[in-house]
A and B are shown apart, each in its own frame.
Chain A
Amino acid sequence: QVTLRESGPALVKPTQTLTLTCTFSGFSLSSSGMSVSWIRQPPGKALEWLARIDWDDDKYYSTSLKTRLTISKDTSKNQVVLTMTNMDPVDTATYYCARWWVTTAAFDIWGQGTMVTVSS
């Protein structure tokens, strides 16, 4: 069974750096065609794709946020980490990680999400 679980702080202050961890099981991120993405949804707003890391360590970022984002993986721990610098109240959102698989070219398995509030 494939599962993903997001973890990280529920509250961060403006200007701080957010670090989120996606811990997954049931698949290997070293398998060809596998990727993990981060996606967020501010309250009442649309989902926004943030970043993706591939099995071969290729990385892709949202055009509007790429200067603030870093995605990395630890294959031995089955984890993907996203850091977002210079947090602002507009970054308040539920953050999801999801597996992307070349077979479906879709986000086929998602975590339940973790809510992050940015406030002083």
Chain B
Amino acid sequence: QSALTQPPSASGSPGQSVTISCTGTSNDVGGYNYVSWYQHHPGKAPKLLIYEVSKRPSGVPDRFSGSKSGNTASLTVSGLPAEDEADYFCSSYAGSNLWVFGGGTKLTVL
């Protein structure tokens, strides 16, 4: 299974919205509604933000939202606060009990 494609970097000013894409194939992102997104501050444990494309776990602010169109999933972060500066990565089920991850996107709050 090949890694999902994410832009290496993204940026936005405080209060703005930023969208990060995650592109796969019909064998993973496009074939299943099991896309999840994670926030990772270096040195800390990654945190689940979105599961099943667009669902938020309890405690995750509603400024994080997810969607999917075809083979591309997206994470939108609205009303950027400074503490959202982190790495973000996606994951998708790839069939046959296999999982694939994206390369990660470094989000900078300007």
Given contacts A46-B4, A112-B45, 15 further A-B contacts (CB under 8 A): A37-B99, A45-B103, A46-B102, A47-B102, A48-B101, A49-B98, A63-B1, A96-B45, A104-B36, A104-B52, A104-B57, A108-B48, A109-B48, A110-B38, A110-B47
Q: Which residue of B lies closest to A104 (CB)?
A: B51
Q: Which of A101-120 contact B (CB under 8 A)?
A: 104-113
Q: A106-B36, A106-B91, A107-B91 are in contact. Are A39 and B48 (CB under 8 A)?
A: no
Residues of B within 8 A of A111 (CB): 45
Q: Taking the nearest CB of chain A, how far is it from the CB of B3, in angstroms?
A: 4
Q: Which residue of B lies closest to A47 (CB)?
A: B101
User: Which residues of B are in contact with A by a Cβ distance under 8 Å?
Assistant: 1, 3-4, 34, 36, 38, 43-48, 51-52, 55, 57, 89, 91, 93, 97-104
Residues of B within 8 A of A107 (CB): 36, 38, 46, 48, 91
Tell me if A105 and B104 are in contact (CB < 8 A): no
Residues of A within 8 A of B93 (CB): 105
In the assembled complex, A73 has its CB within 8 A of some CB on chain B:
no
How many chain-A residues does the 8 Å CB contact rule pick out?
Answer: 24
Q: Which residue of B lies closest to A50 (CB)?
A: B99
Q: Taking the nearest CB of chain A, how far is it from the CB of B56, in angstroms?
A: 10
CA distance A106 to B46 in the complex (A): 12
Q: Taking the nearest CB of chain B, how far is it from the CB of A79, in angstroms?
A: 18
Residues of B within 8 A of A96 (CB): 45-46
Tell me if A63 and B98 are in contact (CB < 8 A): yes
Residues of A within 8 A of B102 (CB): 46-47
CA distance A4 to B3 in the complex (A): 25
Q: Which residue of A lies closest to B32 (CB)?
A: A105
CA distance A113 to B43 in the complex (A): 8
Ranked nearest first, the 8 interchain pairs of A and B with the lowest CB-CB distance are A47-B101, A106-B51, A106-B36, A46-B103, A46-B3, A49-B99, A60-B97, A104-B51
